[in-house]
Every structure is written in structure tokens, then in C-alpha cells.
Amino acid sequence: MAVEQTAERTGTREEPIVTVRNLQTAFFTDKEVIRAVDGVNFEIVPGETVGIVGESGSGKSVTARSIMGLVDSPGRILEGSSVRFHHTDTVREFADRFPGRTVDLAAVAEGRDPEALFAHDAVGATPSAFGYDDASEASVADFVAAGYGEALGIDPEDCVFITEGTVDDPLDGFVEITRLSGESQRAMRGGRIAMVFQDPLTSLNPVYTVGNQIEEALELHRDLSGREATREAIDLLEAVGIPDARRRVNEYPHQFSGGMRQRAVIAMALACDPEVLICDEPTTALDVTIQAQILELLADLQTDRDLGIMFITHDMGVIADVSDRVNVMYAGEVVESAAVEPLFAQPRHPYTRGLLESIPGRQEGGRLQTIEGTVPTPNEPATYCRFAPRCPERFEPCDEVHPVSVPVNDEDGDHTAACLLYPEDEPREAAVSSHEARDDSVREQGGERR
Ligand SMILES: Nc1ncnc2c1ncn2[C@@H]1O[C@H](COP(=O)(O)OP(=O)(O)OP(=O)(O)O)[C@@H](O)[C@H]1O
Ligand code: NI
């Protein structure tokens, strides 16, 4: 899954299958509003692994659960968020199954100026919240996907957006995941995007055989049953490296070792032939040897199936192994994003540097540095740098200005960090002002984001 390998394999990068734009997920407790995910942007590309790394409480799991449609009350995804699934076959299938919820975006966009739409008072997000440098990059699709389409006659239930062709004959488009509910949500979750959790026992039912559980997924998502399903279940167990699959298909989860259970869960996730696999610390509970085997298995499956993988861990060593691209999260925000090589060779954000110094063997003089303190609960709007209290580079404006993501590497234009130290070639004061000017998502709209 390393960079060179992917480049060799595919030549050029494929288009993203999932784009996460300005994702905001909050928990509304009696006491406070916890902004667990606060304006996150990243992509999942077929055949690649995007790593999400950060300490406990940084919002990794809530990001994953938001994409899966698994955020439960008192949590919800806020208006202005968009998670798009770009997969032509899925768009066609969904347009067919949910015609009443399908919209011809070209028709809606005709004669509209997206910049002007974003300027509307009622809109709580700006194009810059979507990661654009310039408002002209925004599209009507961004506007609509982010939930502001009502002004254009779009129902909040609408979730399939056609960008080429028509509603009756869709050629291309996207499904807006944050607007799915009921049947459409079930079809996406498990069917198109599958998830593997840290503890395999959360996915396995102790009272059914492993085979039964895989067969159930096959029946639900691929319409296989009986002998056909059993045969496919055995094939899947073999594909994930479970020896003697013909016998083990009839065993119960407790008869499997930890590593074998996680393999079985991966087989179950693959049963529905997903495009995207989200792995939330899938190897954290396993010993190092087994962990390496599971990572290798995932890499092989990815190559065979052109899977887009989102891989969550707090372990920088694992991230280096598995990722093509890395997003470093802190208190609900992505603070640095880069391809894996530049991230490790030239980490820019002080938080990333801190995380790297805490990997054994990486520091000069052999002393293991850990970042003192813990991730704060993001229970107020980010009007300052949330890392500042722990940051060795902190200077005064860090307490008053919220840093936005800016390019930090001349050779790699996609390498960004959200830190007031950048752009480095600008005088500090000018850099700070440019962050302040671009962080218009919160205050200009008259106060808090919801
Ligand atoms: N159901 C919930 N109700 C209230 N707050 C929640 C809920 N779930 C998560 N949070 C809060 O959201 C924030 C992000 O949590 P999340 O589980 O995504 O962190 P994480 O990065 O996955 O950490 P870990 O490495 O420990 O798994 C934390 O502040 C957490 O307390
Ligand atoms: Ni987590």
C-alpha cells in the first residue's frame, strides 16, 4: 500500500470515490455541544489507503461513523457537511431505486452562480470551508450537497444527484451520504462501504457460526442463498487466509483465535463486494506478528479488488506502513495532510512532529518524547488553535486566531497544515492575518456554527 507501489500499479491516481467536505458532527449533550468532527476535508481513492491518525479523542472514530451513517443521538451531522459517493454504477442503481429522491443537478444549476449562492445570508458555510482557495471553485453541487438546496427547490430527502445525463437516464453523478436514510442508508452501509472495527466480537454474533453470518451478508447484499452462499462463504474465508475453510465455516466465533476472528470479520465485510472499506484500529488488539499479517492481507485484498481504504489508528508506525496519504487529526480537525513520504520526511505541524518523536527509535539521542497533556474535548467553536496549550511553538496569536489549512511544501502542493507558522516564507504577522481572513466560516455569519 506504499506510495511507489500504488504509482506502479495504477500509473496515475484514480478519481476519488468518496469526498468528505466540511464534515461536522456534534453531540448535543445536556451540558455542552461536543464538536467531535469540526470541518474535516479529505478523500478516499480506489486502490489507495488514506490513513487517519491522532491521539485518543481526536475524532477519528466519529469521522468513520459519520461516513457509515452510524452517528446516534445525541450526535448528528450538521448542515454544511457533505460526504459524496462517486460511483457510476451506484448512482444508476440508486436513481432507479429512489427516483423520487433523485435530482438532475445540471437543470438546477442552469443560470445559477454558485458564488452568489454561497453569499446568501442563510448559508452557514463558505466555499473556503470546502477547502477551496477561491470562491469560483465552488459549484452548485457543493451548495446543494451541503444541505442548502431548499432555496433551489430541493427536498432534504433528495440524495442522488445526477451530473451527467438525466434522472431517467443517468450517466454520472454522486450519492450524498449525509442525506441517506432508511433503505437508501442500508444499501450504502455494508453494500458499498463496509467497516471493520477494533474488536471483531462487535461484528460477530456468538450464537451463529461464522459461515452463517457470512451467508447472511451474501443473501442480503448479493442475493445468494443455499449451497451457492456456502460455497462463496468458504471462498471468502480462503481469500482472507483462513486455513481449512471448509471445516471452519461451521465453527463459532469463540473457536477462532483473535487474528482469525478479525480475518473472518474482513471476509464478512467483503461478502457484499464493497468499493470502500473503513478500518477503525483493526489491529490494535492483536499482537505484533498477527497485526503485520492482517495489514498484509488488507494490502493484498486492496490490490485484487481496487478497494479504497480508510485506515484509522493512533500508531504512527502503522500509518507509515499502510497509508498512501495521511490526515493527522486533533480535537475534531485535520491539522496536517500529505502523501505519506513527505509527511514523514518533512512533518510541518508541531503536533505531527510531536507524534513522530514519540515513535521509538526516531529521535536523536534515543529519548522518547511524548506530547504532554491530552486532547481537549472540542466543546466550543474553534476560534483559536486547539493544540496551542500543548504546543512547543505556541506564540500569542495562537490563542486568538483559528488556523486554516494552507499549503506548506513547495514540492508537494497537496501538503497542507493548519498552523499559524505557515506560510513560512511570509512574515509572521502577515501569515496570521491571512489565516484570520480565511477563517470566515465561524464569525462572519453572525456567530456560532450550529
Ligand atoms: N456518543 C457520544 N456522546 C458524546 N460525545 C461523544 C460520543 N462519541 C464520541 N464523543 C466525543 O467525540 C470526540 C471524538 O471521539 P472519537 O471516538 O471519534 O475519538 P477517536 O479519535 O476515535 O479516539 P480513540 O483513539 O480513543 O478511539 C471525543 O471528545 C468524544 O468524547
Ligand atoms: Ni476511535
Whole-number Å distance, alpha carbon 312 to ligand 1 midpoint, is 13
Read out DSSP for 276-323?
Answer: EEEEESTTTTS-HHHHHHHHHHHHHHHHHHT-EEEEEES-HHHHHHH-
Q: Which ligand is nearest to the CA of 315?
A: 1
Mean pLDDT of 271-277: 94
- Per residue in 49-86, pLDDT (tens digit) is 999 999 999 999 999 999 999 999 999 999 889 999 99
Determine the average pLDDT of the residues in 125-130: 74
197 in contact with ligand 1, CB cutoff 6 A? no
Report yes or no: 387 and 331 within 8 Å, Cβ to Cβ: yes
Q: Which of the pair, 176 or 150, is modelled with greater confidence?
A: 176
* Segment 352-405, tens digit of pLDDT: 999 998 877 666 665 667 788 999 999 999 999 999 999 999 999 999 999 999
Q: Check residue 222 and give left, alpha or beta (phi > 0: left; psi -120 to 50: alpha).
A: alpha
The reply to whether the predicted model has a pTM over 0.95 is no
Per-residue pLDDT tens for 299-346? Answer: 999 999 999 999 999 999 999 999 999 999 999 999 999 999 999 999
The Å distance, Cα 359 to ligand 2 centre, comes to: 20
* Nearest CA-CA partner of 439 in 399, 378, 382: 382
Query: Does the pLDDT at position 4 exceed 60?
Result: no
Residue 2: is its pLDDT beyond 60? Answer: no
Q: What is the mean pLDDT of the chain?
A: 89
| 279 CA → ligand 1 middle, Å | 16
Q: Tell me the pairing of strands 82-85 and 170-176.
A: antiparallel
Distance CA 102, CA 106 (A): 12
Residue 359: per-residue pLDDT: 78
Residue whose CA is closest, atom 27 of ligand 1? 56
Q: How far apart are CA 155 and CA 188, in angstroms?
A: 20
Q: CB of 66 closer than 6 A to ligand 1?
A: no
Per DSSP (E only), the strands in 78-151 are 82-85, 102-104
**Any ligand 1 atom below 6 A from CB of 351:** no
**Cell 499559524 belongs to which residue?**
420
Per-residue pLDDT band for 116 (boundaries 50, 70, 90) equals confident
Paired strand residues for 104: 162
Our answer on whether the CB atom of 377 is closer than 6 Å to any ligand 1 atom is yes
| Domain boundary assignment for the chain | 209-273
* pLDDT band of 446, cuts 50, 70, 90: very low
Ligand 2 centroid to Cα of residue 79, in Å, is: 23
Which alpha helices (H) appear in 151-209, and where do they start and end?
Answer: 182-188
ipTM for this prediction: 0.99
Counting atoms of ligand 1 from 1, which one is nearest the CA of 62?
18
Torsion angle of alpha carbons 395, 398, 404, 409, nearest 10°?
A: 20
Instruction: Name the residue of 25, 32, 40, 58 to mutate for ligand 1: max ligand atoms within 8 A of Cβ.
Output: 58
